[in-house]
Amino acid sequence: MIRVGIVVQRYGKEVVGGAETLARDAAERLNASGFDVTVFTSTARDYITWKNEYQPGDSILKGVNIKRFKVEKERDIEAFNRFSDVFFNREAAERNETRWINEQGPYSPDLIAAIGQAQHDYDVFLFFTYLYYPTIEGMKAIDRHKPVVLFPTAHDEPPIYLELMREVFKRPDALFFLTSAEMNFVKKQFNPANRMALIRTGTEINETIDENLFRRNYIQYGPYILYAGRIEKGKGLELAFDAYREIKKKRLIDFVLMGKKLMDIPRIEGLKYVGFVSEEEKLSAFKGAVLSLQPSPLESLSITTLESFSQKTPVLVNKKSQVLCEHIDISGGGLGYENVEEFIHHFNSIYDKQRTAKEMGLKGYNYVKTYYSWEVVIDKIKKELERIVLNPGK
């Protein structure tokens, strides 16, 4: 039995986030398939503050052993953002990169110490996302002879150009990627000598979702555009709001937002914020939407795009994201825009041509079923981990 230590900044059934969800899904499925999995994580539930909300110590969730460690300082996100603005505007030689990583958090020296002390009890360590303190410091705590794997979930953003990131991408014995766009970006930026594998991630395809569930529960009887995800600056929503203002003048359609609200939402007739919904309600909302929207210019995967495809709903994406463009180029399940005019044009082409919209949705569904089923993904992860542990150097 291969013993796997998984390191991720947050972990729990209430935790929402791309890398965190991937870590939890992988941990549960690897554990169920015969691997002995233990998760090393913090007691934080919220990535904005890193507030200690879980109890430190050992626990079990769906058969997976969890070891949680206290975060030593909470994060004031506004103060951190001000610090980051000054930090990234400085010349590289003037930056204290270690301080930035510590401030980024979640800062938990006890977590790092525990990884170092327990490393001999595990055959391989699997880290999720390159960006945070537990990964950057955690990999340093592991001896060079111990196999380390990183799911970087990387994209083009300021932190990836820090000098210390060269070691972050050099240390792992293997790098696992969610898309070929991500893999190509890392190869161009770091040219790592270690093994690179396109693993992707799994998506559950629920064929029994009732598209009227969301409509009934949220009194949403008219057609609508759907955005599901964090509602915050940097997600590209401002352009989408501008486009919707123009669309609403000529079309009878609502714009529904769901997820955590971290920015002010403009007052536009038909623009609705529903907050958090259940998983079944979310999938129902995807199934019933005219189209879903992924406006972010920075994505390493976009689970919501895959969820939309799983319910045969086309997606409108920001062309600035190579990852999102890869999804729609390979699948044919959506369209990309780069300005308000193009957004409106593509919306109209989907809204007015129901047959075209259905064809796009079906193409997206087939794409997810072919490349993103958990059976396929877990089989890839298992084979890679077995190769690393049982046949190192090959």
Residue 72 inside a domain? The answer is yes
The CATH number covering residue 252 comes to 3.40.50.2000
DSSP class of residue 136?
H
Instruction: Assess if residue 328 is contained within a domain.
Output: yes
Position 202 scores a pLDDT of 86
Tell me: do 194 and 258 sit in the same domain. no
| Same domain? 193 vs 269 | no
Same-domain status, 130 and 142 = yes
Element spanning 2, H or E:
none
Cβ atoms 87, 101 nearer than 8 A: no
Q: Residues 162, 226: one domain?
A: no
Q: What is the pLDDT of residue 155?
A: 87
Give the single-character DSSP code of 164: T
pLDDT at 394: 59
Domain identity same for 247 and 129: no
* 88 & 186 share domain: yes
Domain presence at residue 144: yes
pLDDT number for residue 68: 98
Kindly report the three-state secondary structure assignment for every residue of 44-67: ECCCCCCCECCCCEEEEECCEEEE
pLDDT tens-place values along the chain, 394 residues long: 899 999 999 999 989 878 999 999 999 999 999 999 999 999 999 999 999 999 999 999 999 999 999 999 999 999 999 999 999 999 999 999 999 999 999 999 999 999 999 999 999 999 999 999 999 999 999 999 999 999 999 988 999 999 999 999 999 999 999 988 899 999 999 999 889 999 998 888 889 999 999 999 999 989 999 999 989 988 999 999 999 999 999 999 999 999 989 899 999 999 999 999 999 999 999 999 999 999 999 887 788 999 999 999 999 999 999 889 999 999 999 999 999 999 999 999 999 998 999 999 999 999 999 998 888 899 999 999 999 998 776 5
Alpha-carbon distances of 180 from 183, 200, 299, 301, rounded to whole Å? 5, 9, 13, 10
**What's the pLDDT at 390?**
85
Residues 176 and 310 in one domain: no
Whether residue 48 lies inside any domain: the answer is yes
Whether residue 276 is contained in a domain is answered as yes
**Would you say residue 335 lies in a domain?**
yes
Please check whether residues 138 and 261 belong to one and the same domain.
no
H-run or E-run covering 151? strand 148-151
Domains identified in the chain, total number: 2
Segments in the chain forming alpha helices (H): 18-32, 77-89, 97-104, 109-118, 133-140, 165-170, 180-190, 212-217, 237-250, 279-288, 303-310, 322-331, 340-352, 354-371, 374-390
Q: Is residue 82 part of a domain?
A: yes
Nearby residues of 360 by Cβ (< 8 Å), 6 or more positions away: 314, 332, 333, 334, 335, 350
Pair 196, 218 in one domain? no
Instruction: Say yes or no: 253 and 385 in one domain.
Output: no
- Please check whether residues 230 and 120 belong to one and the same domain: no
**Among 353, 249, 348, 228, which residue's Cα sits nearest to residue 295?**
228
The pLDDT value recorded for residue 393 is 61
And the tokens for 159?
């932190």
Same domain, 377 and 265: no
Omega within 30 of 0 (cis) for the link into 106: yes
Q: What is the pLDDT of residue 248?
A: 96
Residue 207 in domain: no
Q: Identify the domain containing residue 39 by its residue range.
A: 3-202+373-390
What is this structure's pTM? 0.78
